Structures are given as structure tokens and as C-alpha cells.
Structure 1
Amino acid sequence: MKGRDIDMARMLLGLTLSLCLAVGLWLPQVAAASVDPVFSVTTSTNSLLQNQTVKVDIQGDSLNDLFAYELNLYYDGSILQPDTTQKFTDLNGFALPIKIVREGGTHVQLVYTKTGSLTGLSGSVKLGTLTFRAVGTGTVDLTLKQVKISTSSLKEEKLLTPNAKATILVDSRERPTLGSYPAPTVSTPAEPNVVSVKPEQLQTSGTEKIAISLPTGAQQILLPSNTAELLGDKKLEIQAEKLKLELPAEVFTQLINLVNELERSDSKITLAIEPDNEPTVGEGVLSQATNQLGASVKLGSLIYNIKLYVTTKAGQTLSVTSFEQPVQIQFKLDSAVNPKLSSVYYISDNGGLERVGGTYFSGDLSSDISHFSKYTVLEVSKSFADVPQSHWAADVIQELASKLIISGTSEQNFEPESKVTRAQFTALMARALKLKMTNSTTSFQDVQSSDWFAPEVAAAVQAGIVNGREIDKFEPNALVSREEMTAILMRSYSLLHGKTDPAAAPSFSDEAAIGQWVLADVKAAAALGLIQGRSEGQFEPQGFATRAEAAQVLYRLLSK
């Protein structure tokens, strides 16, 4: 969300709260007084060392129809620094990004409102969770001084001053436990899971990339604010134990540009690579994957939560939501999974899974990603009752289904011998090529923007891999012939690899039946091994392609 949009959202929510107050003053007052809710602030620990983190929960009890709220939690910014890149609540509704406010004392402001609901929150509810990092030492109070609340009836707004408080002690060294003796004063070592990269480490000449290998257990890399400048046109390679990241300098340029130019030199860049070893997390991902993908699923790597952010001297934390240049992520694949059935998956905040891709080489699975979040590798094994292992296209169908490029006609069946329509084959190619589907509008009278295949047809026409049968007719429900399939196949090959050089191709006994408009494509496809004849050296150009044949030619195309 852009800054202007966030400011507008805050203004609208403020107007909503003000409207609640105005309506409440205008309507007749109810005699019975409502009971005010009770708020509390709790922390995951009451003492920690410098550079360690603490979680802070804000709880609301005795709530009655709480529809919108604004929480203002005050703290000492010289000792604690909040992580503003995370969401503070998973409640259904609309929550603004965490905001740091300096006026009137340093505090974080959390704003939330329900949406599309007739009633507000009642009873006991966790209203917010924050993560703070200790950047200084001393005793610090986290005080919830002000809370604004509104009910769903828009008749009442209240400004409360609960002054709920939690106290934390931040020390520069371990404190002695009861019965032990104080340790002698020594210089404080860096946290074992934090690695600081010095500017001179990013200035190696004569290489295309700067490689940084992390020691076992390291989860955070601190980088200079001018990392992009130091890298120049090189990439930064971060090698963890079972994960490798390759970041172009442009990503760091995009990140530091979020900071005011005068504040950049005093800012710090942090790259966090946090493996999640909790068994319940892995079990949850597998359960979600099985339900969402309808297949047998295995974890092929650890689950990693990856974050990249810049922290200003004032304590503001900023991050990029989408990279302008892709970052390559590379997993060390578990030897127990089949690499042909494995892909890199993005895990969203609500647990949903999105396949990113994956190229396998020498024990590693890599893919380009456009943002950081949680990622893992999943082996997806999908079988169909009507495709036995003895079927000539069984392995191809299983592999393409595992990569979500093709799907069955139902949960159990694939119907390999069923014929393929022009819309179906076009959609198959567009998805396999990952064409950008920006709109659903075409010039064809028989393709409506509401049709399920409209975005794919529009993208394929724009990419130049498919044409209509007439100027204004696509005939989406017509069966695709083998010569039409080959023409689309070779245009897609050219899109991926450029034009092909003429090569010796096997001849077909029915070559005279092949349309002149597609004869060169048929010869080129046969020479490349993308297509084969059906029987007795015949191509059968007017024969209709089956679902198994479509899967086979697509597999060959993607394997080139």
C-alpha cells in the first residue's frame, strides 16, 4: 500500500470514528451506562539482552460490540525498536500498517476496523501483537496510554486511557541467576545468529557476484546502507546451510530509496533467513497442501521465512513488497523426494500455497521470486485412476500435474484419450509459458471477457502464438487439429528460444495432406523431436489432438 493510500485510509477511519461520536451526540442518550472494556499488555519475557527480540501482546477483555479501534502503545525509542514490516493482527477486517508516531512521546499506533459485519468483537480478544528489538540498555515501560473504540451501530466512540503497562529490563550481558556469582565484566560478543558484513567484503573485483557464506545457525545478515553502491553491477550471493539467495544490486537500490536521502547513511539493512523447525508448522503446511492440491505431498526442504528491510536511525523499519528485479532462491533438496515432482512454493500469511516454479540441477532446486516471505519445496504426486503406470504418457502426465500445468477432468480422472478444444490447448500453453494475463479483451466475437479462457486467449494472441480461424472468430470450442497444435507449438518454441535453423526432418507419408501454411512448422517440430507421427509414418494433420498428446508435446517443449 502506498503512503498516500495509507494516509487516506487513516483519514477515512478517523472520519468513521468522528462520525460515531457525532451520531452519538445527536441521538437520544440511553440511560444505562455501558461497562468499559479492560486492556492489558503482556510480554514474552521481562528481561533480554541487547539485539534480542521480545513479543508484546495487547489483550482486550469485557469487549462489547467492538467494531473499530486505535491503540497507542508508548515506549522508549532509545531502547526498543518495533518491527513495522509485520502485521499486528490476523482478525478479519482491515488493519493499517504499523505506524511510529513521535509527537507527544514515541509510540506505535495500531488501527483496525471490521468490514462487512453487522456486529463487532465481544468477550476477550487479542487485539495486537508486536515484535520489538532491543537496541539499547536499561529499564523500559510499554504503556497503552490511549485507546479509541467504536461500536458497529456508529452511535458511540470512546477515548479511553487504560495506562496498561509491562516493564522490560534490557542488559548488555547475561544476568546472574539466584545462587550464582556475577560473571566478570567482558566485552559483549555479537549475537551468535547475526553476521555483520563489512563494506570491504562487498568490493571484491573481477567477479560477477560477491559470495558470503554464513556459519551454522546464522539467521540475520547486517549489511551497509550503501550495499547497492558497493556491489555496482555485481550480485550478492548469500549461502546458508541448505539455502542460497542471489540478490541483484537493484534490489538494494529499491530498498534504500524508501529512506529519505538525508537519513540513508545512518540506516541499516537487514536480511533475515529464518528456518522454521517446528514440527507443527510443517504438519500444517502439508495438511493445507493436501487439501488445496488434492494430491499426496511431501516436504522437500525446510520452511524458510525470509525478510529484507532497512531500519532508519529513528527506528522506522521499511521493506519492499515487490522486487523490480527477480531474486533467485535455491534449496538443497531432500534426497527422499523426487526432483521431477518437486517445486518451490510460496506460503502466504493465511497459509495458502502458490507454486513459484523450480529448475533442478545437481541436488538443488532453484527459482526466481519477486518478493520475500515464507518459502519451501513440496513434492506433489498426483495420480489418476484412468492413467495406469503402463500408459505411454503416464510419467509425463504425472509430472505436469505435479507442477500444476495440467489438471484432470475430475478429481480422479484425466481422460487421456479425450479430444482437446482450441480454448483448452491455448490456455494450457499460456499457463505453461507463464504469459502475463493483464486483460480478458480480444477482437473475437465468440470470446467474451467473462469466459474462463478469455485471459489466456488474450495473452496468447498478444504473444503471437495463436490466431483466430477468421479475423473475428476464434472458435474456442472447436477441436484443435494436430497441424494447428504444431503451429502453436512452434510459435511457442520461437518465443522461448528464438527462430530455429532448418534441419533434416523425418518425412511423413501423408505430407501432401499437411497445409502449406504449417508444413515448415511440422518439419521443424519433427526435427526437434517435439512431435511424432501416429502410425505407419503418417502425421494425420487433420486428426484431432488428445489430452495425452497435448501433455506430451507440452512436456517436450518445456524440456528443451
Structure 2
Amino acid sequence: MHRRSWFPALLMVMVFAFVILPGASQVRAEDAPAFSLTVSNASPVAGTEVTVEANVRNVTDLYGYEVNVTYDAAVLQFLKEEPAANKFMIAPIVRSNTVQLARTSIGKTEGLSGNVSLTRLTFKVLKPGSTELKLTTVKLVDSNQNASELTSGATVRLQAVDGATNPGHGHGGGSRGGNSGQASPITEGNGQNGIEAGGRYDDASRTAHMAIDGETWAKAIQQAQSVPGSKGILKVIVKEMADAELYALEVPAEVLSGQKSSLHIEIATPYGTLLLQGDMLKQNSSMLKDKVELYIGRADVSKLDANVKKLIGDRPAITLQLRSGDQVIAWNQPDTPVTVGIPYVPTAEELQAPEHIAIRYIDGLGTVHAVPNGKYDPLKGQVVFTTTHFSMYAVTFAEGGSYRDLAGYPWAQKPIEVLTAKGIISGVSDSEYNPGAKVTRADFLVLLTRTLELKGELGERFSDVREEDYFDEALRIARGLGIAQGEGGNRFQPNAPITREEMMVLTERALKTVKKQLVEGNRSELASFQDGAQVADYAVTSVAALLKAGLVQGDDHGIHPKETTTRAEAAVLMYNVYNFLSL
């Protein structure tokens, strides 16, 4: 690390004015400090303000620092800076497309260590366009006045959108409107038809209210159905309203109860996109009034448990809700899932392991639940997931390397860490996974059920499974779907180790239930393996199908069908299945 004296001019007066604490450690960490930029809104409207925060992780004894941030002055105008830490500040220096900031602690005190928020910058968005902010160089100073200059490379990208119809800022009380609160059918440049919805803003609740009447829906549906190649999707664009933290879209109840159209409906809002099925409320139709309101917005995480808030960090959390009249609709329909996309700009560290970006849902009691299918989509700039119920959802990230017993299993390390981040598997402790341990028949079905998020009517309970067993529900779901068939005497032997061929049979059956049909195989396709003849007759087609699909691989010219499955092997198969679902 290159060292030189503390950066000139900006902080020289501080060096002479204050006594520096002797004996403190140098600015460093076990790992090199890692920098990141986060943005309050990745798609801001022209004319509004956006905040960018600079952070550093893995730092020790941070007494003072200087940061340099570049931006496109044609798109963004620097307004102000707010130091995130309690430090003496010098007014920012702005040169063309660069803003330079300097901070230092005061008096005899040690510097900050760990993860530190360095500064928050506020910019005004001047015009629509794509632009990038970059944290170029950072100088770190410890309490012994040792300085280090680092090249950051942390970037964040904004896609500013047209604000011609945006209602603008203001907190004068009451409400304000955009586009006279009207919604109108539109045809985009790609020929896709939809509705553009404006509305009114309520200052007190920070809620933007939009309404689409039946006539507008009818026109838009007619247009969408008449366009070849429309893919049966009607798009609703909800205009951004400055300061709004919640968007409420009112639609005729018949639109979502399957009475109007079989079209899918894509609703695009500043807080995320929703892809709904036109009959998602068919089962709730008896409790619906004439109108239904769909709410999406920023979730209030302030009252969550400290561990939950730490898990979420500064990543987005949204709330989803449906109401009709004064009643909340407890929508929970496995047959009509909703696809949700939350806009997200990963940090530089997260981009090194994007598969570790995940989704959690937080129930009304504040309990955290995994949403295994959540994935970061770099092309959309969103974390995308499907759900069958509305609640609070948050983007999370889990760093790898927490398990210390994977050194002998390099082929399984990534699958294990990714599935842990998704909430599908867990270790025997925070630092150990026990990869070589045998997997029981019951535990494998629990893992399979989680990976595929299997749901359905519960089958009969096996005679050797108790209601209080943690695997009872998973086994009954698997039996109800025809995956688990058991043995004689209505027994399943849940605690017996599962063999590799048993694991493959259950996996192939499960994939059929989620409409992922594999190409059927036969025994001739096992002839190239030395132990292919050992595969039981009932398992041949399943084993061959998984081999043809690349979901399992033999080793040393063998399939080892009678060997028991280890935790590492099960994780690799589930990782392959998890990715196969996206194909």
C-alpha cells in the first residue's frame, strides 16, 4: 500500500490545530478496505433530487479521509454534502465534474473501525439520461497521521427519466396532482399497448393515489388483444411523484377477478414492477367491492428486530398490499403467482458474487422467511422473484466464506454458499456445514421442497412420521404431489440415509410437478458407466434423465447409485436444479 504524508492544504490547519492521539494503529484491516456507492433512487425523475452515499468496509482506525467523486455535470448538479460520521468538515471543492470532500476527527480519539458511512451527496437531476457516478480515489488517515491513497473504482449508475409530467416537490399539506389525475391508453414504440396513470399526492401519508376507470381498461385491453405478438401482457405505467413513499393504484375489481380478460398485467412503479394474472383474485371475488386498490411502496423497517435490520442494511424493502373498500384482502393463491421486480444497484462487492443477492419476506410478527427464487437480473437492474402472497419483502446479501470446513470440497463450495444465501440450506453452525455427513431421506425431501418451493394439498402421513416432526409437512406435501411413495406398511424410513439413486428418483418426480419435464432416458444410456447395471429398475429412467440434463455427473466412470448421499452432493444437485428452473 503506497504511503505518503497527509494530503496537502485541505487539512493542514487541522494537523496543527489539534493534538493527535499517539500509539493508535495504522489505517488497515485484515482485508483491504472495500468501497461502495449506493443511491436513493436508481431511476430519478428530471427536476428531482437524488442522494448518493459513499461507504467503506473493513477499515481500522479511520481518523480522517478525503474522497473524490466524479459525475456527469450535464445530467447532475451537485447541491450539498452531509457527512455521515461526526467529523470536522471542510466545504466541498467542486471542479467541473468532480466533487472533493475532506473530513477529520478532532482531539485525542481513536478513529472509526469496521464499516463506515463516509458521506452523503445530494444532486439535482437536470435532464433525462443515463449517467454514472464513480468514487475514484480515497485517502485514509489514521490517528497516527499515517495516510494511504487507494483507488476505489466503486460506481453507481442512474437512469434519469423524463419529468415533464411530474408534480414536483412540496410539503404544503393537502394533496397535489399530476396529469390531472387521469389515466389513458398508450402505445409504446415497440408496439406494446398499455395505460399511463397519473394521480394525486397526499402529503400527510406520502401516498400517490392513481385510479383507472373501466372505460380506460376496456380500451387498453381491446388494443392489446388486437396487436399480434403482444404476448398477452397489458402494461400499466405509474408515474413517479416526488416525495411519494407509497403508491396506491385503484382498478375495477373485475380486472383482477378473471371477468374482464385473461391478459397478464404488468404494473411498473418507482418502487418495483408487478406482473399479475388477470384472474389472481378469482377465489376472493365474493369479498370484493366494485374497486380494488393495490399498494406498493417503501416498507417501514424501523420497528424490526436489530438483527433483521442488520440483514437488510441499506438495501430496499417494499410493502405489498391489496384492499377492497375498507378491507385488506388476504390474498394467498399458489395457482396465480405474482412476479415482482425490485430496482436495485448492487455494490462493487456484491457484483463479485451476484448469486448471493437474495430476497426475504418479513411477516406481521417480524419473522424473516426465505424466498428461494429471488435472483438479481443485471439486464433489468432488478431483484426478481415470484410470490403467492403479499407482505413485506427486502433485498439481502450474504457474504461467502463463512463455513470453515469446505476446504476439501472446492467443487461444492459455491453451491453451498449460494444456497445458504438464498435461505435454502443452512450449516450445522454459523461456521460449519459438515459437507461429508450423510443426508437422511426426510432431510433430502425437506431440501427438495424448499428448493422447488413445492406447495399443494397434504397427503396422508406415513406411519413412521409424527405430526411434531420438523419434516412432517414436507413429506406430506411430497406425498400429496406423488413424489414420495414410501415402502410397505405405509412407512417412509425418514431417518435412513438416502442413496444417490433414491435422490435422483425423487428429484425427477419433483421436477415433473413444477412442469420441468426432463427428456426420458433408458438403461442403454447408463452403459458407459462401470456401475450402470447396478441402478435399480425403478430408478433407471430418472437417473438417465438427470444425467442427460446435466443435473448430475458421474465420477471415475461410475454413478455410485447405492452409495449414500452427502450434504455436499445434495447441495450441488439442488444448486443445479435451482438454476435449471430458470431455463
Q: CA deviation at 1:420?
A: 1.5
Q: CA deviation at 1:283?
A: 9.2
Q: CA deviation at 1:437?
A: 7.0
Name 1:552's counterpart in structure 2.
572
Q: CA deviation at 1:298?
A: 4.8
Name 1:222's counterpart in structure 2.
250
Name 1:241's counterpart in structure 2.
270
Q: CA deviation at 1:243?
A: 0.4
Within 5 Å, give how 1:417-456 maps onto structure 2. Answer: 417-436=436-455, 441-444=460-463, 446-456=464-474
Name 1:309's counterpart in structure 2.
323
Judge conservation of contact 1:235–1:249 (CA < 8 Å) in 2: yes
| Matched residue type, 1:509 | Q
Q: Distance in 2 between matches of 1:175 and 1:381?
A: 44
Moved over 6 A (4+): 173-176
1:543 aligns with 2:552: no
Name 1:415's counterpart in structure 2.
434
Within 5 Å, give how 1:23-422 maps onto structure 2. Answer: 190-191=200-201, 193-203=208-218, 204=220, 205=223, 206=225, 207=230, 208-217=232-241, 219-224=247-252, 227-228=255-256, 231-251=260-280, 257-259=286-288, 264=290, 268-276=291-299, 281=301, 284=304, 287-288=307-308, 297-299=311-313, 301-311=315-325, 317-324=326-333, 325-336=336-347, 337=350, 338-356=353-371, 357-361=373-377, 362=379, 363-381=381-399, 383-388=402-407, 391-422=410-441
SS of corresponding position for 2:574? helix
Name 1:534's counterpart in structure 2.
555
Q: CA deviation at 1:528?
A: 1.5
| Matched residue type, 1:461 | R
The number of aligned residues is: 356
SS of corresponding position for 1:365? strand
Q: CA deviation at 1:443?
A: 4.0
Q: Among the aligned pairs, what percent are the same residue?
A: 25
Q: Distance in 2 between matches of 1:253 and 1:519?
A: 42
Instruction: After superposition, give the CA deviation of every residue in 1:423-482 in whole Å (9 maximum; x if it has no partner).
Output: 2222222232323376585343x3233333232222223322233343443222222222
Q: Distance in 2 between matches of 1:513 and 1:272?
A: 57
Unaligned 5+ runs, structure 2:
1-170, 175-179, 182-198, 203-207
TM-score by length of 1: 0.56
251 and 431 in structure 1: CA distance in 2 versus 1, 3 angstrom threshold: closer
Q: CA deviation at 1:386?
A: 0.9
Q: CA deviation at 1:409?
A: 1.9
SS of corresponding position for 1:465? coil
1:468 aligns with 2:486: yes
Superposition CA RMSD, Å: 3.4
Name 1:488's counterpart in structure 2.
506
SS of corresponding position for 2:428? coil
TM-score by length of 2: 0.54
248 and 438 in structure 1: CA distance in 2 versus 1, 3 angstrom threshold: closer
Q: Distance in 1 between matches of 2:342 and 2:533?
A: 51
544 and 358 in structure 1: CA distance in 2 versus 1, 3 angstrom threshold: same
SS of corresponding position for 1:378? strand
Q: Distance in 2 between matches of 1:253 and 1:522?
A: 40
Q: Distance in 1 between matches of 2:481 and 2:288?
A: 38
| Matched residue type, 2:236 | I
Q: Distance in 1 between matches of 2:267 and 2:533?
A: 58
Q: Distance in 2 between matches of 1:524 and 1:394?
A: 25
199 and 449 in structure 1: CA distance in 2 versus 1, 3 angstrom threshold: closer
